[in-house]
Amino acid sequence: MRRLALALALTTLTACAPTGALITRAAFDLDCPKDRLQLHDLGPSTKGVKGCGRKATYVWSCGTNQSCAWVMNSDIDATKTEQ
């Protein structure tokens, strides 16, 4: 029962993860204007971001003090084509 409660809490937290903060972070990391970024859902707490010929993967991570942030979980890769 505790695992179910934890899973529901995690799902709720990641559903509320602010994508605005992710876009701001990715724009800096990828050196790309915000309006050229594309977000892709990769899982309940994982997003892919593409833009300006580069892409990266981010995870929604919460610390022990319950402060949460998007954290890059990949190297920045060059994409073959800009879609």
Residue 63 lies in a domain: yes
Q: State the chain's mean pLDDT as an integer.
A: 82
For the chain, what is the total number of helices (H) and then of strands (E)?
Answer: 2, 5
Expressed as residue numbers, the domain containing 36 is 2-78
Residue 65 lies in a domain: yes
What's the pLDDT tens digit per position in 36-52? 999 999 999 999 999 99
CA 19 to mean position of chain CA atoms: 7
Residue 49 lies in a domain: yes
Q: How many domains does the chain contain in total?
A: 1
Specify the pLDDT at position 63. 87
Residue 22 lies in a domain: yes
Residue 58 lies in a domain: yes
User: Where is 30: in which H helix or E strand?
Assistant: helix 19-30
Tokens in use for 13?
């937290």
| pTM over the 0.95 mark | no
HSE value, Cβ hemisphere, 13 Å, CA-based, for 14: 17
Residue 12 lies in a domain: yes
Residue 83 lies in a domain: no
What's the pLDDT tens digit per position in 53-76? 999 999 999 988 888 999 999 888
Tokens in use for 5?
């409660």
